[in-house]
Structure 1
Amino acid sequence: MDVLYWFASYLFVLKYVVYALSVLLLIFGLDDLFIDLVYWGRKCYRRLVIYRKHPKLHYSKLKEKAEQPLAIMVPAWQEHGVVGPMAELAASTLDYENYHIFVGTYPNDDKTQADVDAVCARFPNVHKVVCARPGPTSKADCLNNIIASIFTFESQAKFTFQGFILHDAEDVLSAMEMRLFNYLVERKDLIQLPVFPFERQWYEFTSGSYLDEFAEIHGKDVPVREALVGQVPSAGVGTCFSRRAIQLLIEQGDGIAFDVQSLTEDYDIGFRLKQHGMSEVFIHFPVLTDTHKQQINKGSLKSASYSSVVCVREYFPNTFTTAVRQKSRWIIGIVFQGMKSHAWTRDWKLNYFLWRDRRGGLTNFIGFVALLVLFQLACIWGYQQLSGSAYNFLSIYGDEPWLSAVLWANAVLLANRMLQRFVFVTRYYGCIQGVLSIPRMVWGNIINFFANIRAVRQILEMGDVKRVAWDKTSHDFPSLGEARASYRPLGEILLSAGAINKEQLHNALTQGQGRVKLGRYLMQQGVLSGEQLAQAIAEQAGVEYRSCPPLSTPEQGDLGIHKTIAVRYAIIGLFLEKGVLHIASEQHLSPVALGAISRKVGHKVRYYIAQPGQVTVALKMHFSDDSAYSYANLQRRARRSDWPHFVNAHYSEFEAISEVAMLSPSVANQVMIGQENSDSGVGDYLIAKGVIDEQTLELAQRIMRRPLASDKPASSSEVSL
């Protein structure tokens, strides 16, 4: 009897729980249905009206706009082994050259610092930033340190970045990302790209739940938000801020752009910029090439246009614990910190989306409770069917017509939710992932529930939502194949090759460094031959050495190399074989430079290291108006016994200026990007930009002339210039 009493009480309570859940689920379902109707109505209108009057912009138009300097900001706490592959992949895939990556590290993270140092040695456009305070602080604090370093670099290189881009170290960038930002940054102050996680194995439901959520949120919810209120929440990656936006944030923050106490500073900034009338955009921009069309399996139902959008790809957590940790940070930042930082406004449309942001604190709990209740009802129904009991326990719900109507409405809304999820996942990932997204809805709800629990517990433990620490999540990075050898100093290579001894290296480092490069100094002192130096540089760069006599070089126009390309990168074309253009350089060419050369000449590129002066003399012969470097005059000069020294003694003007002015490789590279589109010579351009003064240029020109006048190695007094 007692058991029946307690069971009846349980059914009574369960009945009113079902009532409450049914009403709440109906409200949330209608809320989602509104977004669905707006999205599909807007899509139909744009297709039937807008795109008939205004055709979509073709991606080829992006290349017509001159490259503006863009800065990529990468916070890196315990990211060793990740930064290098990211820079490597960006250099090999980005259809852009005028960008720099600033990596924020911490003084108590030696492994990441060492990793970034190795990357900086290979990539002149990668810069290490060491934060003032030991880590982990917050992502916002790291970004503030990065911005300060960017401004310092700007003052050194005498130029300004036009776009500031947020990325994580594990991000994989689309080839046209920089082009798209470059095209929009003058008109838009916050540009957000969609994020589409990488697929893992079909049975890994945790990482798959991220795939489903981002496909629907960035495929539908955020575009509707932008269309209705013009406000876009940054995803923290794939976000570009205009210079105007960064300057405004710094002014409003009393010198600090990002809120250091916010766990989701990206979300916070979207509102701050909107409050000051800044223009924000969420951009779905397809780059549909013939290759991409051929790769689409029509049976997968994947959309060729949708799956080719410029976006950010990365691997998200694939374990329950790491997913709960990451999502609890998002919940604290968006729901709880958001309620404290962003009050309700007078704009009902903006308030509506604030409500949608914050309702996660309720829906994560309600959805989980609904699963538990559904499970209990299923068990009760199963017991009735199997036991043959005369009791019809579920009859307590049968005399409520309104409840029946609400339950049917919720069933229809649930079916719509499943259909929407299937459609948006299928558009990008194909129908297999679309089908899997249905059962993953349950698993995602469980993850979100426990993330909510953890978020609330953290806030209660700290006593203040602003005091919760940055809980970084580790990510995976796609494999790039064989790892590259670590960067070795030139002196170490020369020692191991037996080209110099320790005493000669010590003397060169103490007497010559800071005036000329180590290899050049050793060669000028007669310690090293041009061939030995070139072989050492080739080993350092990981490429082959090849002697390239200037008189043997072919006409550059025949290889598709124009003067602007040859002079800009200090290269000379050798031959074209099987679609690969073979070129020579006297210095290491970064992967970024090689990618730019390849795009400009329309061929894959392979380069060799030539002896000092060989490329410089060849460039003068092919492109200079100086009669002394005509083919006939150089041919007569080559008959003299000192011809090798004559060639090796040649400096390029920019190399001489860089040594005298002690320009870092990163500054020097940025200066040359700007000079490429200038009608001025290198020296005049640098003076006009304020990088050097006339005295520095004169000293550089003296260094270039003296070896030619004497036809003998330069003395130590000449090197001291």
Structure 2
Amino acid sequence: MWWLDAFSTYLYALGVVVIVIAVLILVSGLDDFFIDLVYWTRRLWRSLFVYQTREHTRYHELYRPPEKPLAIMVPAWQETGVIGHMAELVAVTLDYENYHIFVGTYPNDPDTQRDVDNVSARFPNVHKVVCARPGPTSKADCLNNVLDAILQFEQRARLVFEGFILHDAEDVVCEHELRLFNYLVHRKDLIQIPVYPFERQWNNFTSLHYLDEFAELHGKDVPVREALAGQVPSAGVGTCFSRRAMLALIEDGNGIAFDGQSLTEDYDIGLRLKERGMQEIFVRFPVLRYQRHPKQSEKFGQSRQEANVICVREYFPDRLATAVRQKSRWIIGIVYQGYRTHGWKRSPVLNYFLWRDRKGAINNFVSFAAMLIMLQLSVIGLLQLVWTSAPRFVSIFEGQRWFDVVLVANIALMGNRMLQRVIFVSGYYGVKQGLLSIPRLLWGNLINFLANWRAIRQIIRSGDPRRVAWDKTTHDFPSIGGENQAKRSLDDVLVANGVISTTQLHEAQQHRIDGLQLGSSMIHEGRITAEQLAAPMAEQIGVSCESVDPVGLPHELIMTVPRHIALHYAVLPLRVEGGTLVLASESYIDPVSLAAIARQLGRRVRYVIAYKGQVTVGLRRWYAQAHKSDHDPHHLLEMAAERGLISPERVPQLWSGYVSRQVMLGEILVAQGHLDEVAFRALLLNHARSEQRLGDFLIGQGVISTETLNRLLRLQAALQPSVTSLLEQECADFERLERVS
């Protein structure tokens, strides 16, 4: 029968294909087994010999170096509603303060721009960058625009960023991440921390297969790569570049740090820095705190050390089409563009890992073909088992004992592959996810095959791997509660509350006193009172407002806030309510600063808005050493009343006028345009670690000259009255009144 001949031919061809695929699987399996062998041998060696004489670095060591300025770079295309959540989450969780987030947006994406504007109003350390070209361009192009804005900000703020960190808008940043980067950035040029995807429902194999791959990749493969080749591929998130590395990239690219045509600029940069002899490190740093009882959230089989490493968390795509699109971009960038751009290197060890990067172009097809062949052989076996009268064919592997050895070896290697996957997934996510990673292997093979096929079609259609357009992947962001709302303009609130009319506001803006911001200028001119300014300001911010007695605070309460914290953040302690310390401030305290105050004091804090000048006078009275030997201004007023120079009823009025017209040097600096408010806040972080007075520090930083400082101090003295001058004016008025009467 003709179909028997056809089927025999099919079986023969299938046998040839099976042999080729089996050999390829064997080669790849031995390659993976070598990595396993190196990892476990190295881990055993370090356990037996290295850590017997040298202790692990504890997380307390991360707090020793002073906080260096760090810049977080976030590309954003159609990320409405995400940036605000990220900034909020970072502000309340990061155990670090000296950082700025620069968000790259596009001119044709007004929704994201508007969202970033709203976030920037609440978080002074969040800066909007608008790219030169409409989006979506490549992520690398967006980062180049962001980097240019960072360098311009450095010049304006007179600060130098020591580290440049890559993150996406949907990343959840670990509490100690910036502490770790700050600890290492002066010694290492590329620092990469692990990425651990968030879990979804157990049957969402598309999203969870990322979990399996990253757990093994960042748990074993990348550490071995760093140990043998000294080269670390950036993951695109959770990567910190030293200033030396970033300047080298700019020099290498003739002013452009990131390759705008690369779909995986992070992978590209790791190889470029290695060629320049830069130091790269992959860090798995667990933060372990003493616990008398284990957490209820710990999962069975989870390693406490592995599950507490400093890492990046995020949700990965949960739809097949989205996952295929994302992975095809990775394959094009790493395999095809990577080969075209970097070729092979002189180092055999590095070439070995480059081959491991690129073998996926073949492996993804081989794995999928193996699945199909297994399915076909299973169907044939089942058919012969059910259909007993069917013709019997000689096995396609009959008489090939070497092939039996190959099959046995492949089965053993596959069993080891599953075991390794279970171990590394279980270490972070628990045994349940570890066991589920086995069936997810098949689904992952399907996704990788489809992604590889899509990548090849894109390259054929474009004619060149470097011409393939960047294809952004959308992600989910974990909900943190609440909505990100814009902070209304203070001018709008003043008009809306009837404090001042639109005409009066326009007039005040036209005649603003030199050296004062608008609110202070209106108080000095008598257009509004300090209370009328403070109440709308508190409403704008979303906190309460109250009048503060800066001279009547208990000494014990003053001692709860150290001098350097009070002066740096311009706050006064008011009282303790249910374990929460209530602070007074004359201006908005952003969430980053408020969280930093709470960490430094080791207690919960909240703040209220005080009337203008009340905190300034309190700080001078209780904390500013330069004023401790001066006469107490409030006491001078009381003495004048006792001697009959002024009536006792005038003391509160004169005191209120004196307090509300006090001006701090920082306000004059900003009002006169020497610095913008954001740059001034950045400088204050550096000044907090200095023993110099603010004026001397600004001169040392090159912000102002000595002549400018002297002029500003004279202006400050002219703008804010002394009690003596108020008394002299009051007495002169009193004498005039007596002469007239």
TM band (smaller chain): over 0.9
Q: Which amino acid aligns with 1:273?
A: L
714, 730, 735: which is aligned to 1:702?
714
695, 701, 705: which is aligned to 1:689?
701
Name the residue aligned to 2:644: none
Q: Which amino acid aligns with 2:470?
A: W
- Which ranges of structure 2 fall in alignment gaps of 5 or more residues? 641-649, 728-741
Name the residue aligned to 2:738: none
Query: What's the TM-score once normalised by structure 2's chain length?
Result: 0.93
Please tell me whether the aligned partners of residues 657 and 696 of structure 1 are also in contact (alpha carbons under 8 angstroms): no
Instruction: Give how far 1:711 is off.
Output: 4.5
Distance 1:127 1:228, change over 3 A: same
Name the residue aligned to 1:648: 660
Superposed counterparts of 1:40-79, under 5 Å: 40-79=40-79
Superposed counterparts of 1:625-640, under 5 Å: 625-629=628-632, 632-633=635-636, 639-640=651-652
- Work out the CA distance in 1 between the residues paired with 2:80 and 2:563: 40
Q: Which amino acid aligns with 1:397?
A: F
Name the residue aligned to 1:501: 501
Distance 1:207 1:566, change over 3 A: same
Instruction: Give how far 1:554 is off.
Output: 2.7
- Work out the CA distance in 1 between the residues paired with 2:41 and 2:638: 74
- Work out the CA distance in 2 between the residues paired with 1:541 and 1:115: 17
Instruction: Give how far 1:199 is off.
Output: 0.7
SS at match of 1:639: helix
Name the residue aligned to 1:270: 270
Instruction: Give how far 1:299 is off.
Output: 5.9
User: Percent sequence identity over matched residues?
Assistant: 53
SS at match of 2:137: coil
Superposed counterparts of 1:92-131, under 5 Å: 92-131=92-131
Please tell me whether the aligned partners of residues 556 and 562 of structure 1 are also in contact (alpha carbons under 8 angstroms): no
Query: What's the TM-score once normalised by structure 1's chain length?
Result: 0.96
Please tell me whether the aligned partners of residues 102 and 126 of structure 1 are also in contact (alpha carbons under 8 angstroms): yes
Q: Which amino acid aligns with 1:64?
A: R
Distance 1:292 1:265, change over 3 A: farther
Name the residue aligned to 1:616: 616
Instruction: Give how far 1:298 is off.
Output: 6.3
Name the residue aligned to 2:366: 366
Instruction: Give how far 1:704 is off.
Output: 2.9
SS at match of 2:44: helix
Bigger drift between 151-160 and 515-524 goes to: 515-524
Instruction: Give how far 1:402 is off.
Output: 1.4
Instruction: Give how far 1:482 is off.
Output: 1.4
Distance 1:6 1:578, change over 3 A: same
Instruction: Give how far 1:524 is off.
Output: 2.1
Name the residue aligned to 2:487: 487
Name the residue aligned to 2:357: 357
- Work out the CA distance in 2 between the residues paired with 1:334 and 1:293: 45
Please tell me whether the aligned partners of residues 515 and 662 of structure 1 are also in contact (alpha carbons under 8 angstroms): no
Please tell me whether the aligned partners of residues 381 and 394 of structure 1 are also in contact (alpha carbons under 8 angstroms): no
Bigger drift between 30-39 and 522-531 goes to: 522-531
Distance 1:393 1:552, change over 3 A: farther
> Residues 414-445 of structure 1, C-alpha deviation per residue, up to 9 Å, x if partnerless?
11111100000000011111111111111111
> Residues 286-307 of structure 1, C-alpha deviation per residue, up to 9 Å, x if partnerless?
0012469732666611000111
Please tell me whether the aligned partners of residues 299 and 429 of structure 2 are also in contact (alpha carbons under 8 angstroms): no
Name the residue aligned to 1:717: none
Q: Which amino acid aligns with 1:381?
A: G
> Residues 580-616 of structure 1, C-alpha deviation per residue, up to 9 Å, x if partnerless?
1110100000111011111111111111111100100
Please tell me whether the aligned partners of residues 514 and 662 of structure 1 are also in contact (alpha carbons under 8 angstroms): no
- Work out the CA distance in 2 between the residues paired with 1:508 and 1:48: 75
- Work out the CA distance in 2 between the residues paired with 1:328 and 1:548: 62
SS at match of 1:651: coil
* Residues matched between the structures, number: 713
- The structure whose Rg is larger is 2
> Residues 481-513 of structure 1, C-alpha deviation per residue, up to 9 Å, x if partnerless?
011432100011111111111101222233329
Q: Which amino acid aligns with 2:172?
A: V
- Work out the CA distance in 2 between the residues paired with 1:699 and 1:43: 64
> Residues 675-701 of structure 1, C-alpha deviation per residue, up to 9 Å, x if partnerless?
111111111111111112234333432
- Work out the CA distance in 2 between the residues paired with 1:514 and 1:370: 78
Name the residue aligned to 2:678: 666
Superposed counterparts of 1:154-193, under 5 Å: 154-193=154-193
- Work out the CA distance in 1 between the residues paired with 2:90 and 2:13: 58
- Work out the CA distance in 1 between the residues paired with 2:619 and 2:51: 50
- Work out the CA distance in 2 between the residues paired with 1:84 and 1:513: 35
Please tell me whether the aligned partners of residues 620 and 629 of structure 1 are also in contact (alpha carbons under 8 angstroms): no
- Work out the CA distance in 2 between the residues paired with 1:355 and 1:511: 70
- Work out the CA distance in 2 between the residues paired with 1:493 and 1:299: 51
Distance 1:160 1:635, change over 3 A: farther
Superposed counterparts of 1:196-345, under 5 Å: 196-290=196-290, 294-295=294-295, 300-345=300-345
SS at match of 1:708: coil
Please tell me whether the aligned partners of residues 660 and 696 of structure 1 are also in contact (alpha carbons under 8 angstroms): no
Q: Which amino acid aligns with 1:666?
A: V
Instruction: Give how far 1:556 is off.
Output: 6.2
Q: Which amino acid aligns with 2:702?
A: G
Distance 1:62 1:250, change over 3 A: same
Please tell me whether the aligned partners of residues 122 and 486 of structure 2 are also in contact (alpha carbons under 8 angstroms): no
- Work out the CA distance in 1 between the residues paired with 2:619 and 2:506: 34
Distance 1:394 1:441, change over 3 A: farther
Superposed counterparts of 1:436-455, under 5 Å: 436-455=436-455
- Work out the CA distance in 2 between the residues paired with 1:127 and 1:508: 29
Alpha-carbon RMSD across the aligned residues, in angstroms, is 1.9
- Work out the CA distance in 2 between the residues paired with 1:207 and 1:668: 44
Name the residue aligned to 1:26: 26
Please tell me whether the aligned partners of residues 74 and 101 of structure 1 are also in contact (alpha carbons under 8 angstroms): yes
